[in-house]
């Protein structure tokens, strides 16, 4: 009886250990049975590995943060050419005022004409409109005909005002004028040039006060004797601005 009681106790302990193993692993103890091969190396059952679906490769997302250039209107707009007609040019000389002081419509006898064969266009008073300077033929080939340069201020409406005396250019001893901003003050100054030798006269510079009044600049560097030209242009040859 004593031996039977001991055997029952051992079975109870074994059963308790078996149940405790199942609660910890969640699997029957029979699945953990160790098997031995001929070499005495224990082999354990391989664990099943869950294989999920293969990851899908998403298309790369562009991260270009550069802004597309804004569309702007072209600087030059296309304009259809004007088709000329028989009245494409209209003579408005009389209405414009440029005949003031140099044109006689009616006269009792023939008179010599002072030829203004050279023209210059420049905004001499800074109002945004091109004015007219008509150069006299200097000296006039006909004796007794005084030279005079005519200056007309543009009114901006197709008409002009005679500004010859106020400009200071009317009686300048020169055959032609060239205009540019010589002293870098924002207005158009004047180079008065000679194209033939004429006594002690030389080329000259006249500075503009910004309102179309010109004053001679002495010792400007262009008063060189016996130097003459048929025309003159301004350009930045030494690239100093």
The ranges assigned to domains in the chain are 93-217
More reliable by pLDDT, 26 or 124: 124
Q: Does the pLDDT value for residue 228 go beyond 60? A: yes
Q: Does the pLDDT value for residue 151 go beyond 80? A: yes
For 16-54, write each residue's pLDDT tens digit.
Answer: 655 555 544 444 444 444 444 444 455 555 555 555 555
Q: Does the pLDDT value for residue 214 go beyond 60? A: yes
Q: Does the pLDDT value for residue 202 go beyond 80? A: yes
pLDDT band at 168 (very low <50, low <70, confident <90, very high): very high
How confident is the model over 168-186, as a mean pLDDT? 91
pLDDT band at 91 (very low <50, low <70, confident <90, very high): confident
**Phi first, then psi: what are they for 34, rounded to 5°?**
-85, 135
pLDDT band at 224 (very low <50, low <70, confident <90, very high): confident
**Beta-bridge partners for 190:** 179, 206
How far, in whole angstroms, is CA 140 from its chain's centroid?
48
Q: Does the pLDDT value for residue 128 go beyond 80? A: yes
């Amino acid at each position: 009886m004593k031996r039977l009681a001991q055997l029952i106790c051992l079975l109870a302990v074994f059963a308790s250990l078996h149940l405790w193993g199942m609660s910890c692993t969640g699997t029957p103890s029979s699945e953990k049975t160790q098997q031995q091969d001929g070499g005495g190396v224990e082999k354990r059952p391989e664990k099943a590995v869950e294989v999920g679906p293969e990851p899908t490769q998403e298309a790369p997302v562009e991260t270009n943060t550069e802004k597309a250039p804004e569309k702007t209107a072209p600087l030059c707009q296309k304009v259809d050419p004007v088709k000329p007609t028989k009245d494409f040019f209209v003579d408005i000389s009389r209405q414009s005022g440029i005949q003031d002081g140099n044109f006689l419509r009616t006269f009792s006898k023939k008179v010599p004409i002072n030829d203004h064969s050279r023209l210059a266009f420049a905004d001499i008073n800074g109002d945004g409109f091109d004015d007219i300077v008509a150069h006299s033929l200097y000296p006039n080939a006909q004796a007794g005909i005084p030279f005079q340069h005519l200056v007309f201020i543009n009114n901006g409406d197709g008409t002009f005002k005679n500004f010859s005396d106020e400009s200071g250019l009317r009686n300048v001893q020169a055959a032609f004028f060239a205009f540019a901003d010589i002293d870098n003050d924002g207005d158009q100054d004047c180079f008065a040039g000679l194209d033939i030798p004429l006594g002690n006269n030389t080329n000259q510079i006249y500075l503009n006060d910004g309102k179309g009044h010109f004053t001679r600049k002495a010792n400007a560097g262009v008063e060189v004797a016996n130097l003459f030209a048929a025309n003159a242009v301004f350009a930045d040859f030494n690239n100093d601005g």
